[in-house]
Every structure is written in structure tokens, then in C-alpha cells.
Amino acid sequence: MNKGQKFSVWFFLGALVATWLFSEYIYKPYAERQGEVSYSEFLEDLDKNIIENVDISETRITYALKEGAASPDKRPIIGGVIFSNKKTKPQGNIKSVVRLDDPDLIMKLSNSDIKFGGIAQRDTILDLLMGILLPLLPLLILWYFMFRNISGAGGGGGIGGIFSFGRSRAKELQGELTGVHFSDIGGAGEAEVELREIIDFLKDPKRFDKFGAKLPRGVLLVGPPGTGKTLLAKATAGEAGVPFFFITGSSFVEMFVGVGAARVRDLFDQAKKKAPCIIFMDEIDAIGQSRMNVYNGNSEQENTLNQLLAEMDGFEENDGIVIMGATNRPEILDQALMRPGRFDRQIQVVLPTEEGREEILKIHTKKVPLAQEVNLREIAKVTPGFSGADLANIANEAALLAARRKADSVSTNDFDLAIERVVAGLQRKTPLTPEIRKKVAYHETGHALVACYLPGSDPVHKVSIIPTTKGALGYTMQMPTEDQYLVTENELKTRMAVMLGGRAAELLVFDEPTTGASNDLERATETARRMVIEFGMSKKLGPVRYAAPTMMYLGGAVQIREDAGEATAEKIDAEIKRLVTEAQEQASNILKEHEKVLHEVAETLQKKEVINSDEIQAIVNKEKRSEE
């Protein structure tokens, strides 16, 4: 039995004894006093022959009046059970009197038709159970469900849930059973090389001992969501053939003080018994958040973190335990967690390159029958910025589409639709009214044409005016041609002009803006804001960073640093406005220049609902030829 368990059992037993003492010595005497009468009244009732039965104990006499002879029962009731002897009638008026030394009483009772008997203070175990446990039953049931909820589904669904309070919820899997190997992971070249060293160590820790070499105790995997961090940790355990303990940071965080720390202790106790092994903590930022960042000092989180730090220091270097952590937010982690001897090695798990994406697609289509014409490299080409999880999702969606078509194999078109689904959401069936369709068609054509005419923008892949489940009334899909590691100022301006192409078209054709551009405006403003405060791309403000620290991998709006003055904030706003306005003017000029193409593409779009890049290009080329 571990510490956590002992704590819970004692807590449970203590509560039970306290409740029993309370009921026996405080509540019961109180309840009995409620119906108490004087001995003379008892004798009077006896003479009037209105008593139905009498129970005599060593100190008290309890009696019940015949029906109709009594006022309503005033005794309190707890948990549905009246606090009196089981032999008395559960209803009617019960009275109680202190027993006096009255030798004639038994004679009197014998001569009447009253049923009477004696009761021992506690005669049977059943009495004890009925008297104590039964009133407590509703309370116990409530308690059980409360505990089960708190310890969560992972805490064990049965009665064990009550006792597993302080136990860690690390699911222990044998390394071999993770069944994951590096061959199941695509595009993880660099991370794999670094992890190989850990695997060698886990396979034969003594070899490292001989050289006095100390291996990193903790390895932190950092990178955007869905890039395969969990998968890499599992593969490390799988390759080394050691047990793998998996736990998420958030499951340490409980509402009860001390539980998180107890769980950390328990996790390490378990792991020490199974060494060599890997402990993997996903979302480690949930407990490893910098103590400086925690508003008002969340002492529970701090206790848990302190316990983790202590445990990481507590085992010997070559004990054979490797702790792996994963996070999308390395910037908020406590520095103490990163110092040598703890998570001293960081491995960046980045978004896959084109080659990596092809490998990932190959892995996820291993069991999928692909049509001859499917070229995974081509799919990898049009999916820059997609994570491993996105690609796995695309492979699955494509297979689902093929299955729904009742086809024998998955075609290129299934993959195209799957990509669209992931990017834009499912198509919605509700048709738009002709006026709205027209507005949406011009709006989307606006985006597409600005992208076509502005050099350096990502090529347009498809334009659609079928509403999607993600809330868009239409969408223009652009596909970058290569992975972008660096973006220039001009490219950012081009992107903004494309974003504002929709609004520019609305103004040009209908002379009136619509709400359809709200998301475009949001994205354009955010781009401009980042140019000014994060990338130092405004001459007026200079090469100064005014942005507050951002989340490296999770995106989100960039905020201005709190210590920036009011005058600076005003300048920033003016610069953002200038950049966005210039981008809209640029878009507007392009559309004015090619207004004929705008009308023709928008009309085609209204007829066909979806047009691809070739169809747009054909109309653009036609205009070019007529001008020549």
C-alpha cells in the first residue's frame, strides 16, 4: 500500500468514527429528549389505556401511543430513519421517559393488553448497521461519486477510485507494448539522432558508468502541436525495450492541496521499481510553469513543481530513469526545470519538410489501397505548414471518402477533397440566396485575382462559394509552393493585399462593404501589427520590438508590451492603419485595372460554385491576349 492510499483510508475511517461518535453521544440523546415526558404523564397515559407498546431499556422507557390518541410525531428524522428502537412502531407518537425504580410497572403492564419488552443498549451488529450506516448511506454514496469525479476516469472507476487519491495516474505500459518504433515516424531525422543516444543508454546503462559519463536526466521535446512529440517518446521506449510511463501535466493539478505532490512522488516510486524506464510527461507546462508567471502564486502548482524538482534531483544519474517532457510553450517553463541535471537537453520537433511530409503520408497510407495515379510527393508539395497529425487526418479523411464512394482505391481527388476539408471544413448543404451568392462570388474573386496579379503571392488552388461548416460562405485556397522559413516585408504586404482583395472587390462592384470581410480584416490587421511591433518593419518606429513575449508555437494575437508609453501606442496604431489602408488600395488598383476579368470570373463562379486555378488562368490569359 502506498502513502497516498494510507492517507485516503485513514481519512475515510476517521470520518466514519467521528460520525458514529456524533450520532451516538450527541445526536441520539438529543433526539430522545425531543419526545421526553414526565414519569407521571407516562403513568397517566397507562391509566387512560392509550399506549400500544412499551420498550424498556436500562435507563429509559420508550412507548408508542395508539393511533388517534396522539399528536403528530415530532421526533427528528435523519437519513429517512427515526432514531428510536427498531421494535417501536415507526409511525405514531413516540414518547420517552427516564426510567424510575417502579417495581409495580411490570405488573401493570402484564394486566393490560400492552405489548412490552426490554432492549439492550446495542444488541446486535444489525442494530449498529441500521442505526449508523443506514442514515449515513446517502452521505457515503454522495462522497463516493464526489471522489470518483475528482480522481477522474483514469483514477479507476470502481471503489478503488476512492482510495487512489494520491496515486499517480501514470499508465504503465511495457516498452515493447508501446509497439512504436522510429520506422513509424516520418521526417523526424534530427530528433531521432539525438534520441538514439538515450536509447543506447537505456539499453546498457553500465556501459556509460564505466566511462563515468553522465547522461541527461531529462529530455524536453518542444514544438508545435501535432508534430509527433508523444510518438517520439513512445518510439524511444519502444526501441530501447523499456517500460514507458505516460502522464499528462494537467492530471497532477488537482483542487486538493498536496495531491499533485503526492502523485509526483508516487510516480517516481513506481518508476524506480521498473528502471530502466522512461517517464513521459505530456503538457509539462501545466506544472512546470514559471513560478513568476503564476498569478497570485498558485501554491498547489508550486508544491507540485517543487516536488518534481526534488524527485529529479533525488535519483542517481545512472539509475536508468529518463524523464521526457513535451510542451508547446517552452517560453513559460520555470528556469529551474531547465537547469543541468533536470531537463538539460531540449529537442526541437519542427513541422515536417516536404520530404518528411511524404514519409508521414507513406506511413499513414501503408494499409490504404491507393489508386495508381496517386503521387504522395505531389500531396506533400501542396501541404506546407501541415503537421504530422494534420497529414494523418488527411490520409484518414481520404480513405473515408473513398469508402463512401464504394471505390476500390483512394484517388488523387479524394486527397484533394480531404485537404480541403482539413483547411476549410465540411461543405454545408444550405444554399445561399442569389444576391448573397453574387456578393460572395465577387468577394472570393477579389482575393483570387489579387493573388494572380501580384508577383510573389502563393498560387491560387481553388475558389469556392459553397458554405462550409467552419462558418465561411466561400473560400479561396492558396497553396504555397515551398516551405517558408523566412518571410520578407514585401511578401507580408502582398499577403495583406490578397486578404483585403475581397473587401476591395465589394467596394468596387457594390459600392458598399459587407460583414463578410471581418475575418480578412482581422488577419490583415494582425499581420500589420506584427510587422510594426514584432518585426521592426516600420520606419517611424524603428527597429525596436514593442511586442510582449509571445507563444512560440501556438500563435495567437500579439500584444503591445505593457511598458510602452501612450504616445508610442498611438504611433503604433497609426502605422498599422497606414499599412492596412495601403494594402487595400493596392488590391483595389489591381481589381480596377482588371475589372473585366473580375466580372467574368465572378460570373463563372456563380454558375459553377467551384473553379480551379486552370479555369481562372484561362480567363486571365484571354484578357492578356485581347490586350496584345
* Contact residues: ligand ATP, CB under 6 A: 185-188, 225-231, 282, 326, 328, 360, 363, 388-389, 392
Taking CA 247 as the corner, what is the angle to CA 241 and CA 251, rounded to the nearest 5 degrees? 170
- Contact indicator for 305, 344 with CB cutoff of 8 Å: no
The nearer residue to ligand ATP, 328 or 445, going by C-beta atoms, is 328
DSSP E strand boundaries for 93-133: 94-98, 115-118
Output the smallest distance, CB 556 to ligand ATP, in A.
Answer: 15
Residues 6+ apart with CB under 8 A from 553: 222, 223, 224, 225, 328, 329
Q: Residue 116 or 386: which CB sits closer to ligand ATP?
A: 386
Between 226 and 467, whose beta carbon lies closer to ligand ATP? 226
**Closest CB 325 distance from ligand ATP, rounded Å:** 11
Q: Rounded distance, CA 82 to CA 73, Å?
A: 10
Q: List Cβ neighbours of 418 (8 Å cut-off, separation of 6 or more).
A: 393, 394, 395, 397, 398, 401
Nearest distance, CB of residue 353 and ligand ATP, angstroms: 11
Q: Residue 328 or residue 527: which is nearer to ligand ATP going by CB? A: 328
* Shortest spacing between CB 17 and ligand ATP, in angstroms: 46
Closest distance of CB 224 from ligand ATP, Å: 7
Q: How many helices (H) and strands (E) does the chain have?
A: 25, 15
Q: Report the C-alpha gap between 284 and 233 in whole angstroms.
A: 14
If the CB atoms of residues 234 and 462 are measured against ligand ATP, the closer one turns out to be 234
The smaller minimum CB distance to ligand ATP, of residues 389 and 508, is found at 389
Q: Residue 410 or residue 602: which is nearer to ligand ATP going by CB?
A: 410
* H/E segment holding residue 81: strand 81-82
Question: Phi then psi for 142, rounded to 5 degrees?
Answer: -60, -45
Decide if 444 is catalytic. yes
C-beta of 161 vs 356, nearer to ligand ATP: 356
Catalytic residue among 311, 397, 444, 575: 444
Q: Nearer to ligand ATP by C-beta: 114 or 349?
A: 349
Q: How far apart are CA 359 and CA 351, in angstroms?
A: 13
What is the CA angle 574-580-582, rounded to 5?
100
Q: Shortest gap between Cβ of 326 and ligand ATP (angstroms)?
A: 5
CA 611, distance to chain mean position in Å, is 38
Of 17, 368, 19, 390, the closest CA to residue 186 belongs to 390
CB 249 within 8 A of CB 326: no
Q: Which grid cell sits at 72? A: 403528530
The residue assigned the cell 505593457 is 562
Q: To the nearest whole angstrom, how small is the minimum distance from the Cβ of residue 131 to ligand ATP?
A: 53
CB of 444 to ligand ATP, least distance (A): 31
User: Would you list the DSSP string of 191-228?
Assistant: HHHHHHHHHHHHH-HHHHHHTT----SEEEEE-STTSS
Cell of 169: 495516474
Residue nearest to ligand ATP (CB): 388
Q: Distance between CA 465 and CA 426 in Å, rounded?
A: 13
**36 vs 41, 554, 606, CA distance in Å?**
10, 71, 90
Q: How far is the CB of 388 from ligand ATP (least distance, A)?
A: 2
Positions marked active-site: 444
